[in-house]
Structure 1
Amino acid sequence: MKKNNVFNKVIFTLLASFLLLGTIFVGSATPAQAAKADKDKLTINVADNGGGSILSIIKEKGWLEAEFKKYNATVTWSEFPSGPPILEAFAAKRVDFTFLGDGAALQGQAAGLKFKNIALISDGKGISKILIPTDSKIKSVKDLKGKTIAVAKGTTFHVFLLKALIKNGLKESDVKLVNLQLADGLPAFVSGKVDAWVTPEPYVTQLISAKTAKLLPGLDTTIPAPSALIARSSIIKSHPELVTAFLEVYKEAIAWRDDNLEEAAQLVADKKKYPIEIIKILNNSFNYTLTPITKEAIDAQQKTVNLLYDAKFLKKKVKYSDSIDNSFINKVLK
């Protein structure tokens, strides 16, 4: 009888232990707690401006997802043809990190969008070109007066055109602008529907090689047009660790690209469905860097602010330096 009592006590103790452990294990994975874990998981929206960039490499390699996972954050990607559509998505809170050229960045700041320029990735010199047909009689920027020009409004290319016109004594109203994104500007130019096209590589080399176009003579292509990485202000405030992580990944991606030029070009070529030779031209036309926003860039942007405000391109005159936060890039590059 005593043996039975001892046996029963042992069984009871074991059952109680299993029940307790079961409660612990089940409790750690209840639907309510799982839902809370999902709710606490942060989704970060990253926009690639035109594709073919360092961000394209980061996306294809999955490096940002791997890094952000450490902070219980996931990544969603989107791609836009230029800066202005990104600003619309940013205003709708569908973009947290991206890069913008001078025109879009200044437009966004003037519109009161809450973001900071967190690192300079290019001075923008030489990116924009103006093409004219090979048989065109246009011989200078001044000859653009009265002509029809294709350009994506609000972009770096648009700002470049404005600067070129003003430098040569013209204003925007002296020409006829046709607002076309790059993909639409190409057929418009080739078919002769416009007299000139403001565009970057790889279209420049493509069309000149095909003897379909030539560069507008006498054009100053050294006009600065700084491009910068930007981050939403609320992310900077609530999750500064993600801003640092984003810049760390970007820095490592540049280093990887520089050490693996062929693979990097092939990766983007496969993604964009372009011949690899075209991607190499594109890569060679853009010097990928990562630095704090420099005084030179700040001065250039402020001059652009004044110019665009006078040209009624910006509705509000802003102070570019107010939109800068170099603290994160300084930390990453230390």
Structure 2
Amino acid sequence: MKFQPLHFIPNWSRSKKQKGLCRNFSIVFALGSFLGLAIATTTSHSENATAAYPIAANLSNVTLRASKYKGGWDLQLKLAGQDKFPYKTEFTEFTGGNFIVQAINANAIDIGSASEIPPIFAVQSQGAVKIIASIKGPTVGQVVLVPKNSNAKKFTDLKGKKVGYVKATTAHYFLIKMLAQEGLTLKDVNAVPLTIPDGLSAFRRGDLDAWATYGYAIQQAQKDGAKVLKSAKNILSGNFTIVAAPSAIADPNKKAAIADFLCRIQKSQDWQASNIEAWSKNYAKAIGVDETFVLKDAKEGLKQRRSLRGQATQVLPISQQAIASQQDVADTFYRAGVIPTKVDVKPLWDGSFTNAINKCK
């Protein structure tokens, strides 16, 4: 596959039909993929709002522009009672991490979340983005699907077949890794990059022999009888990143707001882990998926995270382990010929929020 450079131009000028399709799907955390939706909601600061940790800054005139996925940060913060900000917040909805990175590069938002992968493509395209923290998330809900009438039993059965995937995302990465495990490369299949909505439509029409995807689009496809050929549960690191605009970090007041926001995310995650059924009920309603599916995946993901770290998901300051994990992903893309040159990911990481994250109680 030839590398196609990502051009960091906001991709929000979509048709109403396409926008409607995108709003029907959700992606867990930063399992990144395409098509940003300019659906912004604004929360004004209140007189009673207090910062999540003590900060010496004037936040009353600050507007923090944050990304969200459907049923994401804004819902989680509200359910946890962490949405009384001492600054204004604007949430813009996206369906994937690489468009969030594009929006940050275009100075359209200040903070967002993505998997390890979109920032790698940002480096390759000389985009302006910094990773300020990481989240250890679940790796469930990341699979290669085949249609109900498929005869494929193992990955080698896909040789020469049409396989959809979501470019510059975890799906792109684990497809490469799964193929490599069988001595194959992307050149051995007819790999087709598709957005989540377009991929689901193509899969349902029978245009794909297999589909590397993630999130609740999986359950949507399984309603039609789709089968899991292989899971990426033991392939992915589970590392997700919180990314910010360098210009926002350079602004002392906005930087203080970001630090406060990180603490609120941490607290909302703690609430979610302790109220998994309440969260699942509200999340399922927000994304239009059966609550049974959401609760099952949420419990499995929580169990997996606790087995790895002894605790639920939390916001973590940057670490050498997280940097090394992302570097391994970047090297995998280089060896696969997806990016033309080796990428050093270390300059992406900004440790200036470490103290604020550690002080969050």
Query: TM (normalized to structure 2)?
Result: 0.71
Secondary structure of the residue that 2:168 maps to in structure 1?
coil
- Counterpart pick for 1:277 among 265, 272, 292: 292
Structure 1 pair 75/207, CA: closer, same or farther in 2 (3 Å)? same
- Counterpart pick for 1:125 among 139, 146, 152: 139
Structure 1 pair 281/111, CA: closer, same or farther in 2 (3 Å)? farther
Within a 5 Å distance, the mapping from 1:33-182 to structure 2 comes to 41-48=61-68, 50-58=69-77, 63-64=82-83, 66-69=84-87, 74-122=88-136, 125-182=139-196
Distance 1:76 1:134 in 2: 42
Q: What is the identity, as a one-letter code, of the residue corresponding to 1:257?
A: Q
- Counterpart pick for 2:266 among 244, 247, 251: 251
Query: TM (normalized to structure 1)?
Result: 0.76
Q: What is the identity, as a one-letter code, of the residue corresponding to 1:230?
A: V
CA RMSD, Structure 1 to Structure 2 (Å): 2.6
Alpha-carbon distance, 1:137 to partner: 2.0
Indicate the residue corresponding to 2:47 in structure 1: none
Alpha-carbon distance, 1:308 to partner: 1.0
Q: What is the identity, as a one-letter code, of the residue corresponding to 1:227?
A: F
Structure 1 pair 305/260, CA: closer, same or farther in 2 (3 Å)? same
Give 5+ residue unaligned stretches, structure 2: 1-59, 303-312
Q: What is the identity, as a one-letter code, of the residue corresponding to 1:291?
A: L
Indicate the residue corresponding to 1:296 in structure 2: 321
Structure 1 pair 245/60, CA: closer, same or farther in 2 (3 Å)? same
Structure number with greater Rg is 1
1:36-83 CA-to-partner distances (Å, cap 9, x unmatched) read xxxx933221111x423345422677835x3242xxxx2111111112
Identity %: 27
Within a 5 Å distance, the mapping from 1:308-327 to structure 2 comes to 308-327=333-352
Structure (1/2) with the larger helix percentage: 1
Distance 1:125 1:174 in 2: 26
Give 5+ residue unaligned stretches, structure 1: 1-39
The answer to whether the 8 Å contact 1:151/1:185 transfers is yes
Secondary structure of the residue that 1:45 maps to in structure 2?
strand
Moved more, 90-99 or 282-291: 282-291
Structure 1 pair 229/285, CA: closer, same or farther in 2 (3 Å)? farther
Alpha-carbon distance, 1:185 to partner: 2.1
Distance 1:88 1:205 in 2: 28
The answer to whether the 8 Å contact 2:163/2:192 transfers is yes
Indicate the residue corresponding to 2:207 in structure 1: 193
Q: What is the identity, as a one-letter code, of the residue corresponding to 2:315?
A: L
Structure 1 pair 283/247, CA: closer, same or farther in 2 (3 Å)? same
Number of residues of Structure 1 aligned to a counterpart in Structure 2: 287
User: Are residue 215 (structure 1) and residue 228 (structure 2) matched?
Assistant: yes
